[in-house]
Amino acid sequence: MDLFSLLFLYLLSLSIYLLFLRPYPNQPKITGFKSYPLLGTLPEFLKNRHRFLDWTTGVLSATPSNTAVFRRPGKVHGIITANPANVEHVLKTNFENYPKGTKFISLLEDFLGRGIFNSDGDLWRVQRKTASYEFNTKSLRNFVIDTATVEIRTRLVPILEKAAESGRVLDVQDMLERFAFDNICKVAFNVDPGCLGGDGTAGGEFMRAFEEAATLSSGRFMYAFHHLYKIKKYFNMGSEHKLMKSIATVHEFADKIIKSRMEEKSENKDEDLLSRFIGTDKMSTELLRDVVISFILAGRDTTSSALTWFFWVLASNPEVEKKILNELETIRNRNAKRIGDAYSFEELREMHYLHAAISEAMRLYPPVPVDTKACLNDDVMPDGTFVAKEWFVTYHTYAMGRMESIWGSDCCEYKPDRWLENGTGFCRQESPFRFPVFHAGPRMCLGKDMAYNQMKSIAASVMERFEFDVQGDKETSPGHLLSLTLRMKGGLAVKVRERCMG
C-alpha cells in the first residue's frame, strides 16, 4: 500500500467518523480502544506507541472488565487484557488453545531462534522437561547462592567501595546487568565472562550487541504494518541491518560457549544446565545456541530490571528502607552474623519484608510487562469477550499492577505491607494470575525461586553497606525502554556512600 492510498483511506475514514460516529451530547460513553473505519486502532496506535504501556493501561482501566479489542489493518486482530480471570483461562484452563503462535515466534526467531521462550509443542516440552529436572535439584540451588555470594564479595562490593571513595557516578542498571550476566553464565554454562571485573566496564561489545538485539527485535511489534520489517530485512536496511549485526555478535558468543562445553563434555558431565542439554539427543548445535541465548535473556535481563526499579523506588521511600535494614539486623543478630557475611538459603527465606518490597516493586515495574499468545480456535473469555481463531491475546502485566479492581484504590502507590499476612509479618503467596510477573500455568517461570534468592542476596548485601543517592528527580518515574524486558531509559545514575551503621 503506497502513501497516497494510505492517505486516501485515512481521509475517507475520518470523514465517515465525523459524519456518523462522532460522539454527541448524551450519547453513551464508548470504552476500549478508539477504532476508525478500515484503519481500526492504527491512528491511535501510531499516536501512542512511544508510550504504549501507559496508553494501553489507561484504556484498560476505563473498560468494565479491563479488557479491550484491538484491530489494525493486515489482520492484526486480538484482545489486550488485565483481567485475572482471563489470564487464568489463557495460561492454565485452556492452555492448549493459546500457544505462542507462528506470528509471535517469527518476529523473535532471528534473535531467540526456537529456544524455550520462543517455541511451542514438542520442542518446548523437551526443553522444559530438561530444564525443570535441573532447577528442582538442591545442588543447583546451593550453587546459585554460592555463585552470587562470590560475585558480590569479589566484584560488586569492591566496585561500590571504589565509587564511594572517588565520588564517581555509577549506572546501577548497567552494573546489575553485568552482574547478572556473569552470574547466569557461571550457573548455566560454567563460563565466567568477567563483565563486572575491574572497574565494571569489561565485555562491552557483547553487552551492547545483546541489548540492541533485544530492543530491535521487540521493536518489530511496534511497526504500523506487520510485514514491514521483512521488507527492511530483505534489503538489509535501517534497524534490520543493525539487528542482524547485533545478532551475529550474540551468536558468535553463544557458539564459543557451546564449543567449549562440548569439548569438555566427557570431563564435566551434567555439571551445569548446558551440559544436560548437550546430553539430550534431540538438540542440534543451532538449538543449543538458542538455549544459551534464552538462558542469558532470562538470567541477565529480568533480575537486573527488577532490582534497578527496586533501588529507584527505594530512594523515595526511606521508611521502607529502614524496615528492610531493621529486618536484616534482626536476622544477623539471631544468627550471629556480621555485616558482609554471606547469607544462607535459610536466612534468605527469613527476609519476608525484603521479599515483599521486591515483589511490590515488580508489581509496578514488572521485568516482562506484556506477553502475547495466539488463539487456535474461536473462544470466549470468562468476562464474555469473544476471541476469534488466529487472533492474538496479550495479557498486560504492567497494567494489572495498576488496576483498582485488583489492588484497590491505592494501586499506584508503593506499599510493601500489602504483601504481608495480617499480624504475622510473613510475606504471602499471591495468585500468579493476579500477579503474573513470573507467568503462570504450565509455562510458569522455572527460575522464580532462584531469581528471588539472587535478588535478596544482592539487595541485602548492598543495602547493609552502602547508600545510593539517586541523581535527578526521585519523585517522577523515569522513562522506560520497552525492550523484551522493562529497562530504565538512560539507566539509574547514583552516587554511592558507605553506610554508617550505629
Q: CA–CA separation, 20 vs 27, rounded Å?
A: 13
Cβ neighbour number for residue 343 with a 10 Å cutoff: 23
By DSSP bridging, strand 379-380 and strand 386-387 are antiparallel
Residue numbering of the annotated binding site for heme = 445
CB of 81 closer than 8 Å to CB of 87: yes
Per the annotation, binding residues are 445
Coil, strand, or helix at residue 79? strand
Closest-CA residue to 217 (of 284, 294, 292): 294
Q: Please enumerate in sequence order all residues whose Cβ is within 8 A of that of 174, keeping only pairs 6 or more positions apart, or say none.
A: 200, 491
Q: H or E element: which one contains 18?
A: none
Q: How far from chain centre, in Å, is Cα 312?
A: 17
The DSSP 8-state label assigned to residue 45 in this structure reads H
Q: Round to whole Å and give the CA distance between 170 and 148.
A: 20
What is the sign of the dihedral through the CA atoms of 387, 389, 392 and 393?
A: positive
Residue 438: what residue type? Answer: F
Can you list the alpha helix ranges (DSSP code H) found in 49-156? 52-61, 84-88, 102-112, 121-135, 138-151
Q: At what angle do helices 318-334 and 352-364 cross, to 10 degrees?
A: 150
Whole-angstrom Cα distance, residue 321 to residue 314? 6
